[in-house]
Amino acid sequence: MNQSSEKPQRGDIIVILHLRYMDWAVYVGGGNVVHLTSGKSSTIGLSNFFTYLWGDTEATKEPLKDAALGRVRWVCNHLDHKYRPRPVDEIIAAAEKMACNRKKYGAPIQNSERFVNALRYGQIPRKWSNEDPQPGDLIEISRSVFAHWAVYVGDGYVVHLLGSDLPLLGSCSSSPCSSPCEDRNGEVKRERLRDVVGGDTYRVNNYLDYKFPPRPVQAIIQLAEERVGPCYYNVLWANCEHFATDLRYGKRYSKQSNQVLRTGVLGVLGGLAASII
């Protein structure tokens, strides 16, 4: 079997597919993982299967290539949609500590997944909460047509990109990303989250964390603060979502723009505007 081509990032959970079971590991960087092992050979066979069912194990740090031995593996941060991952440095420190303390665990079939989940999300996982955004979080704000995006920088404030609107779809102040129209000048502002949200609703939505590693929190905040002021705005290529994802991941991405381009909403809205004029 071939290995997955997906490159893991530090703190990622990796699933390794064995013949009769799955091994769960945490990638700690440098080509190494920490996972539960019996200390025996990783060769596929009944003895390893029985150990997986009933044997005692301990946390082990070893090269991913040795843990996988050519088997199928993939990154599986499967609870990121539900729980807030711990900071990467905390995940790594906890994993390295576990690999050094020689603590005995029960059979991997009961503890392997639980072990890596505790490393990535903590012994008491923290659910995502709209009431408690953390610095660096992406904030998605519901608007009448499209969502507006901002980056939370702490103390109740967000940094976000504002652009102009067509009157057809809302006011400039309340719906900065409501209409796919021509290029506009924009401005990055630092404002209170409650003022930006107004009478709408919002949620924490770090929806690309599974795909791109976020920048360090302080780097996100510093970069956001530095960008406050006039800037370029284009609803399809440089909108508020592009701005927010670029701050968090260093990648400009907008699922809304992609959807508009796929479905041809530009033509529909253009027709509506022409009919009104």
Residue-level pLDDT at 150: 98
Q: How many CB atoms lie within 10 A of CB 29?
A: 14
Catalytic: 35?
Answer: no
Map 206-233 to HEC letters. CCCCCCCCCCCHHHHHHHHHHCCEEEEE
Q: Which of 76, 177, 181, 240 is catalytic?
A: 240
- Which of 44-48, 66-70, 99-103 has the weakest average pLDDT? 44-48
Residue-level pLDDT at 21: 79
Q: What is the pLDDT of residues 173-226, one digit of tens each?
A: 333 443 444 444 799 999 999 999 999 999 999 988 878 888 999 999 999 999
Taking 60 as the threshold, does the pLDDT of residue 165 lie above it?
A: no
Distances in Å between the Cα of 134 and the Cα atoms of 80, 102, 217, 252, 255 are 15, 34, 9, 21, 23
| Ranges for all domains in the chain classified under CATH 3.90.1720.10 | 12-41+50-121, 137-167+184-255
Taking 90 as the threshold, does the pLDDT of residue 112 lie above it?
A: no
Assigned CATH for 137-167+184-255: 3.90.1720.10
Q: Which of 35, 76, 148, 181 is catalytic?
A: 148
Catalytic: 177?
Answer: no
Q: Give the torsion through C-alpha atoms of 52, 53, 58, 62, to 10 deg.
A: 10
DSSP string, 104-155: EE--HHHHHHHHHHHHHHTTTTPBP-TTS--TT-EEEE--SSS-EEEEEEET
Q: What is the pLDDT of residues 136-150, one digit of tens each?
A: 999 999 988 789 999
Top CATH class, 12-41+50-121: alpha beta
Between 103 and 43, the higher pLDDT residue: 103
Q: pLDDT > 70: what percent of the chain?
A: 77
Catalytic: 148?
Answer: yes
pTM: 0.63
Joined together, the tokens standing for residue 36 give: 């539960």
Taking 60 as the threshold, does the pLDDT of residue 57 lie above it?
A: yes
Q: Which of 76, 160, 177, 242 is catalytic?
A: 160
Q: Is residue 46 within 8 Å of residue 126, measured between CB atoms?
A: no
